[in-house]
Amino acid sequence: MGDSDTRPRNTDVGRYSVQRPIRVAQVVGKMNGGGVEAVVMNYYRHIDRSKVQFDFLVDEDSTRVPEEEITALGGRVFRIPPYQHPIRYRRELIRLMREQQWPIVHSNINTLSVFPLSAAKKVGVPVRIAHSHSTMGKGEFAKNAMKLVLRPFANVYPTVRFACSRYAGKWLFGKNADFTVIPNAIELDKFRFNAETRKQTRRELGISDDTFLIGHVGRFMPQKNQSFLVDVLAGLLPKRPDVMLAFVGDGPDRTAVQQHVEELGIADHVLFLGQRSDVNRLYQAFDVFCLPSLYEGLCVVGVEAQRAGLPCLFSDTITREVDVTGASRFMPITSPEEWISFISAIESGVRISSSENVFSDYDISENAQKLTSMYLKLFEKK
């Protein structure tokens, strides 16, 4: 869909030239393998790149930038100073936006969008999109303080507002704000349950057929609350000695979680699988998917896990909008007892059946077409 000639073809119209494809500056902050970057990249792979192209503005201290893939798809990567150096950050944003003259700047960094979008307004970018991908929760005092300081400016600089869920949009823009929900869409067929893939993946992981495997996918950071799952596992083992826990992902908190596992003496029951490109296959090996996050916008991994037919258990701080099938459970993270009780009652290999229709809103092909049309209409309107 996006392999046609992507060289700009220009016709002067006012200050901006009409280019095909239209280039959209995607501000993604730090690319470290997290969910937001994965969502943006997934849309990029599926948009009509003969009409719309993405350029990525990433913090220079990013650790996982898929630069080769972006370049192969026709995009560009611009590394900029991180926001922790605000003067250099703003100066470089202004310089780049003046130089590149992007007609659309799409910021995916929540309350921090005030910085790139204020720069975009200063240089006269006509379409400025603020995209809410998250909210906030307890346990991150410094980060929450900054969010609360910046949130009142969320509606000052954007001309358009997007959100991954109603909950995330209302949190950032206000209960009565006008915003469009852009789902965290996925390749539906890629995550569909397959019994043979389950057997193969378990063999590769060294997991026997009768072992009960708890799965978690997420970056190791305070928000994801992985240590809580370690406590759940420790409480489960006396009741269910065959249980194991698999963590997929990496991040700054990984060492601390590993130490917690060692202190509890349960290292033989925990797999740290690191950053993986085959997460769709790993879902097949799991028996339950657990996400005890302190907060989320709308977790794409939750949608993926449900598509794989997994019983899903989420913290009650996560929006119910993630419950695509209507069969997910939401529980408090004040104590692991309820989680232990729920998980202990699940049989190994059980899958939740659901209608194909319930996932229709999360089809990446359809949503990418819609997003392409939105960009074109916004450009033409401005």
Give the pLDDT means over successive 10-residue stretches in the chain (382 positions): 43 54 96 88 97 97 95 98 92 98 97 96 98 82 82 95 96 95 96 96 96 97 96 97 96 97 98 96 98 93 97 96 96 96 94 90 97 97 80
- Provide the pLDDT for residue 139: 66
- Provide the pLDDT for residue 382: 73
Q: Return the biggest CA–CA distance within the chain.
A: 71
Measure the CA–CA gap between 251 and 168, rounded to whole angstroms. 24
Name the E strands within 101-142: 104-107, 127-132
The answer to whether domain 189-361 has CATH 3.40.50.2000 is yes
* 221 in Cβ contact with 253 (< 8 Å): yes
Q: Which residue has the tokens 């993270």?
A: 333
Measure the CA–CA gap between 234 and 336, rounded to whole angstroms. 10
Q: What is the C-alpha end-to-end distance of the chain, expressed in Å? A: 26
Domain positions in the chain:
10-185+363-381, 189-361
**3-class secondary-structure state, position 181:** strand
- Provide the pLDDT for residue 34: 75
- Provide the pLDDT for residue 148: 87
- Provide the pLDDT for residue 19: 63
* 161 in Cβ contact with 177 (< 8 Å): yes
Q: Which homologous superfamily is 10-185+363-381 in? A: Glycogen Phosphorylase B; (3.40.50.2000)
